[in-house]
Amino acid sequence: MSENKKVQSLTGRILQFLLPLLLTILLVWWLFHKVNFVEMMDIIRGGCNLWWIGLAMFLSIFSHIIRAARWQLQLDSLGIRPPFMALCCSIFGCYALNLLFPRLGEVWRCTYISTREKAPFTKVFGSVVADRLADMALVALLLLLSFFVAHDAIAAFLSKYPVGADLLDLIANPLVWAAVAGAVLIVTAVVRFFSDTKIVIKVRTWVVQLWNGFADVARMPRRGRFIIYSLLLWGCYYIQLYVAFFAFPFTADLCRQSSLAFGLQPCLVAFVLSSISMAVPSNGGLGPWNIAIMFGLALYGINDAEGTAFSIIQWSGETIMLILLGLFTIAYISRNSHKSKSLR
C-alpha cells in the first residue's frame, strides 16, 4: 500500500511539472503556426529599440522590491520578521524558479522564509495565499475598468468574428443571466443539503480558506500601507508594459494618439489580458502571456506578426532579468549560509 502511494505521489509530481511544459509547448506551437515567423523576425530586426526594453527590465526590479515590502507587512503581523533583503531574494528566486517549474516558486519562497526564521510553514504559506488573493481582487477591478474605458474597441473587434458576435449576443441575453442565477441556487442547495459528502466538504474548506485569506488582510495592522503597496505594485507592472510600447514604431504610434489616451488605453487592455493569462500554468507565462498581448494589441489594429514580435521581445527581456535576479539570489543565500557556518 505504501509502495502504491509512493508511485502515485511520484506520478503526481511528474504530471505537475510535465503538464505545464506540454501546455507551454502547445501554445507556443499554436502561436508560431498562426504567425509568419520570418515576418516576425524581420519586424524585430528592423524596428526594435532595445533601450526601451532595457528600461522596462530595470523597472521590473522595483515591482519585486515592492512585492517584498508588501509581504513584509503581512509577515510582521504574524510575528515573523526576516531581513528585508532575504524577502527580496525570496521574491527574486520565486519568479526565477517559476521559469522552470510553474507554481513551485511560491512553495520555495515559503519554505525558504519559514526555515530561515524557524516559523511554521502553514503561517507563511497562508500569508502568500492572502497575497495572491489581493492580486486577484486588483486584476478583477482592472478588468472592469478596461471594459469601461475600452468597450467600443472590444465590441468592434468581437463583432468582426462570428464567435465574437455570438458572444456579445450571449452576454446581452437575459436568459443566460437567469440560468446563471439558477445555477447559483442549485449549488447553494447542494451545499446545504449534502454538506456531509466528501466533495462538498472539500469545496467548503477551500472557500473558507479563501475567505480567511481576505480576512487576514482586512484584520492586519497598517492595512492602508498594504493597499498603497498593492497600487504601487500593479502600477509598476503597468508602467513596465507602457514603457515597452515605445520600443516598436507600431506600438509607439498608439502612444501618440490622443483619442487612445496616448496609448494608456490599449496598454491597459493588453495589461489586463496578460495578467489574467498568468493564471494558466506555463513556464514563466510563455505562450498564454504572448497570446494575450497579441490579442490585446489586435483590438487596436496591430497585426499578429507585430503583436507577437512585441510580446516575444518584452517577455525575453523580463526573463533575462529574472535569470539575473535568480543568480543574485543564489549568491546571497550561499554567502549567508557560509557566514552562519563561520559564526557557529
Confidence check: pLDDT of 152 > 80: no
The confidence band for 340, taking pLDDT boundaries of 50, 70 and 90, is low
Burial environment of residue 343 by CB neighbours within 10 A (0 to 12, 13 to 18, 19 or more): exposed
pLDDT of residue 7: 47
Confidence check: pLDDT of 2 > 60: no
pLDDT of residue 258: 80
Mean pLDDT for the chain? 81
Confidence check: pLDDT of 126 > 90: no
pLDDT of residue 235: 94
pLDDT of residue 218: 63
Look at 43 and 3; give whichever has higher pLDDT.
43
The confidence band for 140, taking pLDDT boundaries of 50, 70 and 90, is confident
Cell of 223: 492595512
Work out whether the CA dihedral 264, 265, 267, 268 comes out positive or negative: positive
Confidence check: pLDDT of 210 > 70: no
The answer to which of 6-10, 28-32, 104-108, 113-117 has the lowest mean pLDDT is 6-10
Strand, coil or helix: what is 79? coil
Please state the rounded mean pLDDT for residues 87-103: 90
Q: Could you report the per-residue pLDDT of 248-289, keeping only the tens digit for each?
A: 999 999 999 988 888 899 999 999 888 888 877 777 778 889
Residue pointed to by grid coordinates 510553514: 121
User: How many Å is the maximal CA-CA distance in the chain?
Assistant: 71
Look at 23 and 185; give whichever has higher pLDDT.
185
pLDDT of residue 53: 95
Residues 185/186/187/191 CA torsion (nearest 10 deg): 100
The confidence band for 29, taking pLDDT boundaries of 50, 70 and 90, is confident
The confidence band for 93, taking pLDDT boundaries of 50, 70 and 90, is very high
Where do the domains of the chain lie? 49-343
pLDDT of residue 242: 96
pTM over the 0.85 mark? no
pLDDT of residue 280: 75
**Residue 257, Cβ neighbours under 10 Å: how many?**
13
pLDDT of residue 79: 84
Confidence check: pLDDT of 67 > 70: yes
pLDDT of residue 339: 60
